Structure 1
Amino acid sequence: MIRAILIDDEPLAIQVLERKLEETGEYEIVATFQSELEWKGSIDDLQYDVAFVDIQLVGSNGLNLVREMQATNKESLCIFVTAYEEYAVNAFEINVLDYLLKPVSTNRLKTTTERIHNELELRGLKAMEEKAHSIQINLFQEFSVYYEKKLVHWKTSKVKELFAYLLTYHNQYVERDMIIEALWPGEDYQKSKRHLHTCMYHLRKKLKSIGFDHAVTFLDKRYLLQIETSTDVDEWKKAMNDLHEQPDSVEPFNRVLTLYTGKYLERDDYEWAKERMQAHHFQMISVMVKMKNYYSDREQLEETSQCLNVLMKEDPYSEELVQEMMGILRRMGRRADAVSLYEAFAERLQTDLQLKPSARLRAFSKGI
């Protein structure tokens, strides 16, 4: 519903317009005024979306009144309603949304209503975008929330963990018992439920303080978190989706790697997050493999070796990676480094696993 106020010094004109607006089923008439003085007496209590104002008011000028309205309530829309066409140019110079001539026809009012809806929708989208930019949420490495560039502090560590958990299932309903099992595993159920209710109260209170009122809803023993913002993980996933199987440049790889600033919630050490942490990290390893293949296909040996170094740190017992790295080093004229790599690998296998390199790798090392 569009919340509207009407200002006209003719009571009959107010009644006619009020009836026409109500007949559309689109408006809620918040208040009506017959003078500028009446309107000024209610400024502090008024909440409305649009004001329908007569230009010629007894004792005042509608143009000046609208200027004052725009100064006191920048979010409201103004529409002139008058019997005189000659004011149209002046009206649009002060940025009113529309200009209606009396008597207002049903079809003309329909057009005005569509304009109001479109403008309110645009303003709503802009407000959501501004709100989204005012908050920054990081889930990689360590969970942190910044509002207007200031770190958000939580009532307790469990309130913080609860928000992180709900963000993991952002825009999805989560069973209450599933939350309890994740955050208070093995504890008494009734006691854990009370803990959840207390934490949820403080979480809602904190979210409201940073502009996200009614962000968490409860229905059929399930919770739903809905906030108009994105996390660093969301940005990374978007970059992952943009990464084609065979990109024609290295930039998509670099973007994915740059956005991945650390393992998912690693420093927070939440038990429920470890499976997701491993899944995300495995995806990053697969990206590094693709990047290595990209460089290898283009005979960019130095870049290929850099990727292999990263992969070998992730999997220090992989003979395939060691053999590929030895081959790259040989092609780069670094035979001594290839031999040293093999010897270090053989020692690591023996020390850590009491194993020896395979016959294939031993034969390959002799050919270096």
Structure 2
Amino acid sequence: MRVILVDDEPLALKHLERLVGEIQGLDIIGKFDNPEKALEAILRDRPQIVFLDIEMPEINGIQIAERIHNTFPEMNIVFVTAYNEYAVKAFELNAIDYVIKPIQRKRLEETVRRIIIKAPTPIDTPDDAGVICCFKTLRFKSSMDDPDIIEVHWRTSKARELFSFLLQHRQNPVRKDVLLDLLWPEFDESKGLAQLYAAIYQIRKTLKKININITISSFENNYMLELNDTKIDVDEWERGMNKLSVVKGDNLPQFRSLLSLYIGDYLSEEGYLWAESERERLRILWLHYIKDLADFFISKEKYTDAILLYQRVQILHPYVDSSYFILMKLYDLIGDRHSVTQQYNNLKNMLKDEYGIKPNDVIENWYEDWKKKQKRAEIFLEKK
């Protein structure tokens, strides 16, 4: 394995060179006491391992590691330092190890052993790069068509929420102080940052374990989640619906298939308050497409198909009162009197229980007129 050594102290660098040179399988391709030149060589020559001192002038090891990680996230970084105060920050940057000076050969051999046995992460092709599902709850799949869910074990609920928040703000930088206020408001800055760094480290480990090729970059005081080739079901759904735009006979199967992806509101089971605006936006969009499809069925006098759509609306959104009124009208069109009355009673009970109100005058008047028509029809039939 190709190795580059970086330490601004000549004696420490020489000692490190001697120890690394004695370990079989390692090839030292560069050693630097100038951190700027070291960074140039690392980005150019792409070694498998970088042994990196932290306390250096002009640019320190943490800053170098951030730049390495943003360009080559899989590169093995081993911090070598006389101080242990940087441990949390080191592991936030996904360092493979953190070795305290003076370095012992046995300790260094253990570090190299960990690197050698670390399984490489294969990079999938774009068609099989993994999918993150956000409708209803956070889940992972290997592809859009795969029905099986990848089992994921989050170490903490905060790590899961942090990932979800970064995912919602994907491709955009998110300030660390925003994350601290959101997830660890009870801690002071120092303790909060320790929690944040640990959670980022766990997220990276989790994504790597399930082979999802997502990068979380750290720069200045920000994090940014980059999807690379990974897909999100919400994006695929919205992009597909925008392409179809208007329901027509030739795109009806695709329209119905895309609508079926919406199995529940965006991250609804997670209960994140910060997700509510996006949840509401997608909900409104889905209801708009449902109405378009239902109107298409009604125009073709396929009332049962329209009824099935609005029944689905009621299952997912029982407090959308308009669905009850629409179903009352649709059931009237197919002559299902019992279901008209049932929908009206369901609406009346829902409004009373949830809001302490009655159906509005438009619905009340329509229902009273409908009952009168039914009564007249019964009288007419009795006379015959």
TM-score, normalised via structure 2 length:
0.54
Contact 1:342 1:365 in 2 (8 A): no
Pair member with larger Rg: 1
Root-mean-square deviation (CA), in Å? Answer: 3.4
Partner of 1:137: 132
Alignment partners' CA distance in 2, 1:324 and 1:189: 53
- 2:345 & 2:203 partners in 1: Cα distance? 55
Kindly state the Cα deviation for residue 210 of structure 1 after the two structures are TM-superposed: 5.4
Structure 2 letter corresponding to 1:143: L
Paired residues of 2:135 and 2:267 also in contact (CA < 8 A): yes
**Residue identity opposite 2:160 in structure 1:** K
The CA distance in 2 between the partners of 1:350 and 1:212, in whole Å, is 47
- What is the number of residues matched between the two proteins? 245
Cα 1:300–1:273 change in 2 (3 A) is: same
- Please tell me whether the aligned partners of residues 339 and 365 of structure 1 are also in contact (alpha carbons under 8 angstroms): no
SS at match of 2:218: strand
In structure 2, runs of 5+ residues without a counterpart are 1-28, 30-44, 48-121, 144-148, 375-384
Distance 1:316 1:329 in 2: 19
Give the direction of change, closer, same or farther, for the CA distance of 1:216–1:297 in structure 2 (3 Å limit): same
Q: Whole-Å Cα distance in 2 between the matches of residues 47 and 177 of structure 1?
A: 33
1:230 is matched with which residue?
Answer: 231
Equivalence map 1:190-209=2 (5 Å): 190-208=190-208
User: For residues 356 and 211 of structure 1, what CA distance do their matches in structure 2 show?
Assistant: 52
Question: What secondary structure does 1:250 align onto?
Answer: helix
User: What is the 5 A alignment of 1:1-368?
Assistant: 130=125, 133-145=128-140, 150-185=150-185, 187-208=187-208, 215-226=215-226, 227-248=228-249, 249-312=251-314, 314=317, 316=319, 318=321, 321-346=323-348, 348-349=350-351, 353-355=356-358, 358=361, 360-361=365-366, 362-368=368-374
Contact 1:140 1:265 in 2 (8 A): yes
> Any stretches of 5+ residues in structure 1 without a counterpart?
1-29, 31-45, 49-126
Cα displacement (A) at 1:346: 4.1
> For residues 351 and 214 of structure 1, what CA distance do their matches in structure 2 show?
45
TM-score, normalization: structure 1?
0.56
2:132 touches 2:140 (CA, 8 Å); kept in 1?
yes
Q: CA deviation at 1:296?
A: 0.9
- Equivalent-residue separation in structure 1 for 2:357 and 2:214 (angstroms): 59
2:129 touches 2:213 (CA, 8 Å); kept in 1? no
